[in-house]
Amino acid sequence: MILQLKKSTPEETINRLKKDHFARIVTKQDHIQAVTTKSTECVPEYVENYLIKSWHFDTDIQLASKSFEEKRVTSIGTVEIGNPNTMNFIAGPCSVESEEQIFTVAHSLVKLGIRSLRAGCYKPRTSPYSFMGMGKDGLKLLDQVRKETNLNIVTEVRDATHVDDVLDVADVVQIGAKSMYDHGILNACGTTDKTVMIKRGFGTTLKEFVQAAEFVLSAGNSNVILCERGIRTFETETRFTLDLCGVAFLKENCNLPIVVDPSHALGFRYGISDLSKAATAMGVDGLLIEAHPEPDKALSDSAQQIDLQQLSKLHSEINQLGLAVKLKLI
């Protein structure tokens, strides 16, 4: 149940609501928002005098539900995401590797008219022997890129101790597939108004995926993006399986903007174009594409990154397809 309460609601009433119904309560600009479990079936009598509006749910997917709000529009820095007639194109390398590398990519994006750069500085890897990112030095380079090119920055936080450093630089804080269950990160991101992009874990159900977003939303941050990046199935010839059925479910039932990451789903660059076109045809809110000046020399995920020439071609093709389905690429 979601309750909108008057800002004049007494503190003792708020405290009782927390105790009786395990409510997560935040103060908004013009009201107090209280979200309780699905087992709360009736509005407690002691809050009725302060109640503005209530919503009843039979699931713990509440703030992200279209029954609460039809569609949320948030921002990636200087551009909006979630509008029905636009699609965001976000591109960049898996990892920041050097000043030359990241500025080469950034200048290519500017030339193409792409306005948002993705690049990791803290990389949660499967193998302890893999490149794990440049950390704070990488963030400094991203800060330079933003100041010199005006690109919007999307970068990942690996654990809760990195959140403040990432918030200082990023326009969008990315919570990776391996960090999706980290409540420290989710709650820390929930206390800021910076846009958060949550990537679906490869063994995560759709309900669990959206519930991760509920942690951020119920802590007070309404700026959340969902990112489908492939799930693990019995198939071994591709890295993961891009769940476009899941994307259709999210579009039908959830109010959050949805981005698709075809690079991580397939794990190989040969199919990035086809998967990107399929997602575009579905009307997703954005694409997240990995691109590198020299993919075969990349320090991480080299097989799935396209080069800058391929990026230019893909961007042109997606732009044309977008026009066909009445989506303007931004």
148 and 186 within one domain: yes
Is residue 66 assigned to a domain?
no
Confidence of residue 125 (pLDDT cuts 50, 70, 90): low
196 and 119 within one domain: yes
Confidence of residue 199 (pLDDT cuts 50, 70, 90): very high
Is residue 67 assigned to a domain?
no
Structure tokens at 9: 């609601």
Measured over the CA atoms of residue 164, residue 169, residue 173 and residue 174, the dihedral's sign is: negative
Q: Which pLDDT belongs to residue 132?
A: 76
264 and 172 within one domain: yes
Interval 109-120: pLDDT, tens: 999 999 999 999
Pairing mode of beta strands 24-27, 2-5: unpaired
Q: Which pLDDT belongs to residue 56?
A: 93
Would the pLDDT of 124 be above 80?
no
78 and 44 within one domain: no
Would the pLDDT of 129 be above 80?
no
Mean per-residue pLDDT, 216-235: 97
Measured over the CA atoms of residue 71, residue 285, residue 236 and residue 182, the dihedral's sign is: negative
183 and 224 within one domain: yes
Q: Which pLDDT belongs to residue 295?
A: 97
CA 120 to chain CA centroid, nearest Å = 14
138 and 21 within one domain: no
Interval 167-186: pLDDT, tens: 999 999 999 999 999 999 99
Is residue 186 assigned to a domain?
yes
- For the entire predicted model, the pTM comes to 0.95
Confidence of residue 198 (pLDDT cuts 50, 70, 90): very high
38 and 101 within one domain: no
Average pLDDT of the chain to the nearest whole number? 95
Q: Which pLDDT belongs to residue 262?
A: 98
Is residue 123 assigned to a domain?
yes
Would the pLDDT of 150 be above 90?
yes
Nearest to 260 by CA among 120, 25, 97, 88: 88
96 and 51 within one domain: no
Interval 276-329: pLDDT, tens: 999 999 999 999 999 999 999 999 989 999 999 999 999 999 999 999 999 999
Is residue 60 assigned to a domain?
no
Nearest to 318 by CA among 262, 277, 287, 272: 277
What region does 92 belong to: left with phi over 0, alpha with psi -120 to 50, or beta? left
166 and 248 within one domain: yes
175 and 85 within one domain: yes
Q: Any idea which of 87-91, 112-116, 157-161, 293-297 has the lowest mean pLDDT?
A: 157-161
Structure tokens at 287: 């694409």
Is residue 164 assigned to a domain?
yes
Interval 247-275: pLDDT, tens: 999 999 999 999 999 999 999 999 999 99
> How many domains, in total, are found in the chain?
2
120 and 23 within one domain: no
**Which CATH number goes with the domain that contains 279?**
3.20.20.70
Mean per-residue pLDDT, 124-135: 76
Q: Using a pLDDT cut of 70, give the percent of the chain over it.
A: 99
Is residue 61 assigned to a domain?
no
Would the pLDDT of 60 be above 90?
no
Domain coverage including residue 197: 74-329
Is residue 63 assigned to a domain?
no
Rounded CA separation 198/186 (Å): 9
Q: Which pLDDT belongs to residue 281?
A: 97
Burial grade of 326 (CB within 10 A; 0-12, 13-18, 19 or more): exposed
Rounded CA separation 156/176 (Å): 7
Q: Which pLDDT belongs to residue 280?
A: 98
129 and 210 within one domain: yes
